Structure 1
Amino acid sequence: MMRILFFFIVVLLLGVGFAWLADRPGDLVLTFAGMQYKVSLMVAATSIVAIVAGVMLSWWLVKSIVTSPYALRRHFRARKRDRGYQSLSTGLIAAGAGDGQTARLMIKQAEKLLNVDQEPLIKLLDAQAAMLEGRTDDARAKFEAMLDDPETKLLGLRGLYLEAQRLGARDASRHYAEEAALLAPNVEWAATAALGQKTTHGDWDGALLLLDKQKATKQIDKEKAKRERAVILAAKAIETYESDPVNAKPLAIEANKLAPDLVPAAIVAAKSLFAQGDLRKGSKILEYTWKREPHPGVADTYVHARVGDSPIDRLKRARHLAGLYPHHAESNLAIAHAALAAGELKEAREAAEAVLRSTPRESAYLLLADIEEAQTGDQGRVRQWLSRAVKAPRDPAWTADGYVSERWAPASPVTGKLDAFVWKVPVEQIGPVIDAGDDFDKALATEPSRPEQPTIEAKPILPPRKQDTKSQPVELPEDQDVVDAEIVPFEPPTQQTAKASLDKSSANSDSPQRIASVLPRLPEKPKESTSEPFVGPVPDDPGVKPEYKSSQSNKKFKLF
């Protein structure tokens, strides 16, 4: 645009000048070699301009002819370079897409068209192609060769760090990350990786020093720096608390001030305060954290704040804590655990069942199994709760990058990322919600019966009534003997026999549907008699000795 404007201005000035000369007539007299030449002023000006333009054109032609070999070489060199960069670009795209064969072909073309020593991207593409082809040793050697060049040293450290992470060589990855952080402190991946590696290996002071350097260079914002400092201080306090609770106290309190919602920091701060007898301040810390995020660790620490408390006192503290966040699953679980320890089994059962109605989970079913064993001792019900616990969704746990841990850690063991653990249900373990039901009897499975003798009509063993299952074990009627636990031949009953048995026992049952649900499926009678009698195995019964059978024939038998 500026060139067009400049050209327009020059043409405008020339036009104005010629117009000015045309308005002022005059002659130009030139004497040369005894000859006198007389021309008008306009002709003289036009001649001068034409001579200057001719000289400039002649000079351009001569210069173009002289410099044409160099211009041709430069043209072909630029064309070759453009083709090389095009091959390099195609190779990088192929490597990013996982096409190792195309990447290797483009490397060969780029090496022919470009200077390998002056173009570091060829080395990078060569290393990536080696990784795609599975030649990890060659890729590692190429990354190590990049360390000799200051221009590609950081790139080589990055490649070696990723390769060490892939192979699980934590010490090597830590070394490369620290070296890259020293070489370029402003590179985020190097500083973050070095910080995570120091935290994973327990170098708390080194991690805090590196974090301060990042904060000074403004690599991370203030809020993130505060959070990461709180994580490191909390981890250091947890490690120090077991051996030196006094020195762990200031670290834990500072971590709790920097991140009040960090559960491990609140727990270790409260424990250090409880150890020194400061019950009020430690309880306030836990209560504040509980209001923001209920956690079973917070509840356990709060309930067991004083060593000499009785189970009733701990139950009172659990009720107070649950009142700060009512109707939450963790609140009900805290009450259920404390009530079970205090012997308040009814309250413990109600709290555990409230969890099943809102968010069924594995721990609630296990807790109900303990309550059932303590309250009724019915092993059948206990096994029922345990079987439902196996299929129930898992409880929340500390999860980071797909890794589930029983304890909190400051950094992820997979990637080394700081503050990666989150309290949540593991994603791969989420399952369908199991309907707890209002009545336990509806979920209670009843085993089918079998006939006593080959010639006796088969009678189903009916389950107890709904109101009887809550306070006493299930027993057979008084007039029914124990079935002989041995394999005996018998003639299978027909469908008419089963129907008659159903009509006969309908007076002592709750409903025909209930009987139909427990009535065993009877095999059809064969049309022709076989040479061998039908042998019906008794499910879940290995049999008894003959002498033991006669002595035990008059005793009652429990279903569970």
Structure 2
Amino acid sequence: MIQVILFLVTVGLIAAGFVWFADRPGDVIINWMGYRIETSVMVTLLTIAALIVAGILIWSIARAILRSPEQVSLFFRHRRAMRGHLAISRGLIAIGSGDTRLARRSADEAARLSPGDPLTLLLTAQSAQLAGDRSGAERAFFEMTRHDETRLLGLRGLYIEAQRRNDPAAARRVAEQAAQAEPSLAWAGQAVLDDRCAQGDWSGALKALDATRSLLARDDYRRKRAVLLTAHAQALEDSDREAARVAALDALKLAPGLVPAAALAGRRLAEAGDTRRAGKVLIAAWRLNPHPDLAEAYASVRLGDTARARLTRMQSLADKSPEDQNGKREGAIAVARAAIDAREFKIARDALAPFVTSPSKRIATLMAEIEEAEHGDDGRVREWLGRAMRAAPDPVWTADGVVSDRWLPVSPGGRLDGYEWRVPLAEIGMTHPVVDAPPPPLPERKPIVVTPAETAPAHPEPMAGAATASSGEGVGPVTALEAAPLAKPRPKLAETKPVEPIIPVVHAPDDPGLDSDLDGDPLAEKTSSADGWSRLKGLFR
């Protein structure tokens, strides 16, 4: 709308200019080289405008002629690029559909038509991967790394190919290059972190984790850093106990319920003589996550204590257990363990009493130990050991289907913080007690009484060797066991109706049909000769 208004305004101004010049006539005289030209102002202006237009046309034609080679070359380049993009599109679609032959042919055509296109390199690499040509894929990915726009894509491809041929050194180098080129790449940072963890380089793993801090959620980052600090503390436990204590305490600040960090910090603080702080650390972790390692560390928080003193400490720790079933069970096991060491068997039995009806392996083993230490009853010991073999499993450190006797920072599959304290078969729903459950009562079976009227067939046939009873003798009831040898009457089969065909059969007019020789047409009428003469007469009326 605005363009229309501007056009109308321009036309109006031009028309007003012509009117203004027409209202003010004048003459223009030109004397040049002996020539004298006299004309009006309007004609002069029109002549000047015509000359300008002609000049513009001549310049345009000359410019088009001069630029024609470039335009022709541009046309062919554009056409070639369009054909290359079509080949790339066909190749990508072929890769998605799994057509290896078409993908390779399209990649070759795209490489011929558009050799420097990033999509051409991507198509070449993916078609080589689809065909199983790993060397060709690596060459294509390496070529991508030479271009700025495809450098990260090429490094990603080289990293995947290095993993496929099981070359961790090459994968590590490629991941480090990608992380240096773009620190915000999640896969590169995770690859460097996994490599540092696999090598046990916990200081390098902490640096790699800090480099990817912006890519992780806050809780995830704190948990992973706590795990790495705990692993670093465990590595320094024998060489530098002070540094191990500091690292374990830093881990507890990030994850207060991390059992390995709390147990390690409690042991190191107890060795340093700071028993009060050690007890606080262990109790705080116990309230969040009751665990046997915490109970063991808390029992030995004071070196040289008597067994009764440790029992008193365990009873105090059990009182601080969470109210859930796991907390109560771990507290009872800790008290029972300390009571057996102090030879307070009644306290041990009372602590385990709520769990002996469906004991776990640890509880059944503790009961066998109590029976052996208190009474020396081999029969009861064997009974409890047998129940321990059949009892429900206890939680253990497990990851990727592998059970470990201690916590490890990395799972067998290379996953950081992969080990969990749980029942190994928890994922298939076998955490409920399966021992000492009374079997369900069997339903009481009663004999089925069958009367002769029910067992006799409607039309009995005489059987060879069968005895005939007299009409005056009564027949008593027969049980199901006695009536078993009798032949059961066969049920009468229901008459089946013929099934109509899905597609009806249509007979031709001159076709008598399949059953024409058996059945006549019930609707056919017999015509007489008289009827025939009357119809013939009607035709001539």
Partner of 1:107: 107
Aligned partners of 2:299 and 2:310 also within 8 Å: yes
Change (3 A) 1:407 1:388: closer
Change (3 A) 1:260 1:50: farther
Aligned partners of 1:337 and 1:348 also within 8 Å: no
* Cα distance, 1:70 vs structure 2: 3.5
Partner of 1:289: 285
Partner secondary structure for residue 282 of structure 1: helix
Question: In 2, Cα distance between the equivalents of 1:119 and 1:133?
Answer: 21
Partner of 1:275: 271
2:332 equivalent to 1:329: no
Partner secondary structure for residue 34 of structure 1: strand
Change (3 A) 1:434 1:227: closer
Aligned partners of 2:423 and 2:431 also within 8 Å: no
Map residues 525-540 of structure 1 onto 2, 5 A cutoff.
none
Aligned partners of 2:189 and 2:211 also within 8 Å: no
Partner secondary structure for residue 241 of structure 1: coil
Change (3 A) 1:385 1:199: closer
* Cα distance, 1:30 vs structure 2: 2.8
Listed one character per residue, the Cα deviations across residues 11-50 of structure 1 (whole Å, up to 9, x for unaligned) are 52452243255256112423354342225x4x76566556
Q: Between the two proteins, what is the percent identity of the paired residues?
A: 32
Partner of 2:407: 408
Report the TM-score when normalising by structure 1. 0.63
Aligned partners of 2:361 and 2:388 also within 8 Å: yes
Map residues 145-544 of structure 1 onto 2, 5 A cutoff.
154-211=152-209, 226-324=222-320, 325-340=322-337, 342=339, 343=345, 344-353=347-356, 364-368=360-364, 370-371=366-367, 374-375=370-371, 377=380, 379=382, 382-389=385-392, 395=395, 397-399=397-399, 405-415=404-414, 418-419=416-417, 421-423=419-421, 429-434=427-432, 440=436, 442-443=438-439
2:39 equivalent to 1:37: yes
Partner of 1:490: none
Listed one character per residue, the Cα deviations across residues 423-443 of structure 1 (whole Å, up to 9, x for unaligned) are 556688432454558xx4714
* Cα distance, 1:87 vs structure 2: 2.9
Partner secondary structure for residue 377 of structure 1: helix
AA matched with 1:275: E
Partner of 1:129: 127
Partner secondary structure for residue 31 of structure 1: strand
Question: In 1, Cα distance between the equivalents of 2:416 and 2:386?
Answer: 42
Where in structure 1 are there 5+ consecutive unaligned residues? 357-362, 446-494, 496-522, 528-560
Change (3 A) 1:28 1:163: same
Aligned partners of 1:404 and 1:426 also within 8 Å: yes
Partner of 1:16: 13
Change (3 A) 1:162 1:295: farther
* Cα distance, 1:241 vs structure 2: 1.3
Partner secondary structure for residue 16 of structure 2: helix
Aligned partners of 1:283 and 1:302 also within 8 Å: yes
Question: In 2, Cα distance between the equivalents of 1:31 and 1:147?
Answer: 75
Question: In 2, Cα distance between the equivalents of 1:54 and 1:427?
Answer: 93
AA matched with 2:40: K
Change (3 A) 1:69 1:169: closer
Aligned partners of 2:397 and 2:405 also within 8 Å: yes
Change (3 A) 1:119 1:425: farther
Where in structure 2 are there 5+ consecutive unaligned residues? 340-344, 372-378, 442-446, 448-480, 486-541
Question: In 1, Cα distance between the equivalents of 2:402 and 2:113?
Answer: 48
Q: Which has the higher contact order (CA 8 A, sep 6+)?
A: 1
Question: In 2, Cα distance between the equivalents of 1:404 and 1:69?
Answer: 76
Question: In 2, Cα distance between the equivalents of 1:20 and 1:404?
Answer: 99
Q: CA RMSD in A?
A: 4.3
Change (3 A) 1:178 1:291: same
Larger radius of gyration: 2
Partner secondary structure for residue 383 of structure 1: helix
Question: In 2, Cα distance between the equivalents of 1:221 and 1:444?
Answer: 51
Aligned partners of 1:84 and 1:113 also within 8 Å: yes
Question: In 2, Cα distance between the equivalents of 1:101 and 1:306?
Answer: 75
